[in-house]
Amino acid sequence: MAPYAYPTSVRKSSVYLPDPLKAELAALAGRTGRSEAELIRLAIERLVRSGTAAPPAGTPTAPADSAIPPVGPGPRLVGVGVGPSDPDLVTGRALAVLRAADRVVAPSTGVDAIGRAETVVREAAPDVGVDRLVIDIRGDGPARDASIAAAAAGVVAYLDRGELVAVALLGDPNVWSVFPRLTAAVTAARPGVPVETVPGIMAFQELAARASTVVADGEEELTLLTLGDSDGDGTRRLEPLLDDTGRSLVVYKGGRHLPAVAAALERHGRLGHAVLGENLGLPGGRTLPVAACADRPASYLATVIAPPPRPPSTPPAPPATSPTPAAASAPVTGPTPAPGPAPAGAPTPAGAPTPAAAPTSAARPRSAGPPTPAAALTPAGPPDPPPVVGGTPATPVPGPEAAGSVETGGSISGQPGRGT
């Protein structure tokens, strides 16, 4: 019997996987340049941190969330907006694409420098690894173009491996980002590669929320602009826009020109409601009125919102109140006749005044039968002269004055009316 021969090579990383999955894992490792062990580790990390496990085979599962569209396979280039800087503002769709990508890259000023987009991805999706695209954002035109060309060459190499490449970008990939220029260079080298974008929240939206500022309302127009070095003190393009009282302005990258921008806003009556946001979502970030920081420059990525002059908001008018019917508040009555004699033996009601002694027959009113009710009393002709008792006219018993209807011209029940 021949002795057992131990295998000289074993793929320890995938020894427990079925053969079809081993083949797929090997193909993915070849496309991405990562080892099978690293890919397995990433998959386990995602599973453990998600807190969920795949159901057993044959278990019915709920359909996928239709709000997050699936991402196509590589080779494909996707620009992913990761918001202003706060990881809580990364959308669910952005996270899904970042985790589905074979390669996630982010712009950086150097191979040893962590860019803001990479920082957001690290906090929002710590299970996702990020490679850096070095881009010169401060140099002149030729230096910047050369850096973008070099970054595009690296992306093309990933695409040639069949990878799904996601580019993480601050804000939105279609608004003042490097993605359009990077895409132009990539598609020039690989014209058929699919390109997609995932929208992201922009800094001015977060600033408006933090400062409780309405950016645009009604028929107002909204203009977004950047202030570069070619603008002198920063107001060359700003001044004509401020003349339009129906236009709201959002100013990006104008931190160095903040004192001049604040002076222009004050000249046009906009300084009082203008707000500034700086490093939102980062340590040391702040949101404050422009007037409170107008004496010195702000950082490069500071954002300013300058709404147009608006009339002060008017509180809603109180609901209309129907006037109180006159009969319900004060009935109209005529003179009250003197009380007649109480029946013999009738007790006096508690709290009622004791009636005076009945007048003599000479002092009785000349009427027959029971007293006329006050509501039906209608004087006919001139009033009778006061009766004479002992040669002196008797003073009639006074009755309450007739109450008129409630006056509702300018107010109701003493409350100011509308417009007061």
Query: For the segment 347-374, what is each residue's pLDDT rounded down to a tens digit?
Result: 544 544 444 444 443 444 444 444 444 4
Q: What is the pLDDT of residues 163-192, one digit of tens each?
A: 999 999 999 999 999 999 999 999 999 998
Question: Which has more confidence, 2 or 171?
Answer: 171
- pLDDT at residue 369 in the model: 46
CA 35/CA 46 separation, integer angstroms: 17
Number of H helices, E strands in the chain: 10, 14
Report the pLDDT averaged over residues 256-279. 93
> Is the CATH number of domain 70-201 3.40.1010.10?
yes
Q: What is the C-alpha to C-alpha distance for residues 203 and 282, in angstroms, rounded to an integer?
A: 12
pLDDT value of position 97? 95
CATH class of 204-306: alpha beta
| Strand-pair partners of 420 | none
Q: How do residues 215-264 score in pLDDT, each as one tens digit?
A: 999 999 999 998 876 666 668 888 899 999 999 999 998 888 999 999 99
Enumerate the domain spans of the chain: 70-201, 204-306
Q: Is the entire prediction scored with pTM above 0.75? A: no
Instruction: Tell which residue, 266, 252, 257, has the closest CA to residue 297.
Output: 257
**What sign has the CA pseudo-torsion 237, 242, 248, 252?**
positive
Distance CA(400)–CA(398), nearest Å, equals 7
Neighbours of 227 (CB within 10 A): 24
CB 134 within 8 A of CB 108: yes
CA pair distance 154, 186, nearest whole angstrom: 9
pLDDT at 25: 81
CA distance 100 to 46: 11
* Nearest Cα to Cα of residue 89 among 277, 254, 273, 304: 277
Least confident of 333-342, 349-358, 403-412: 403-412
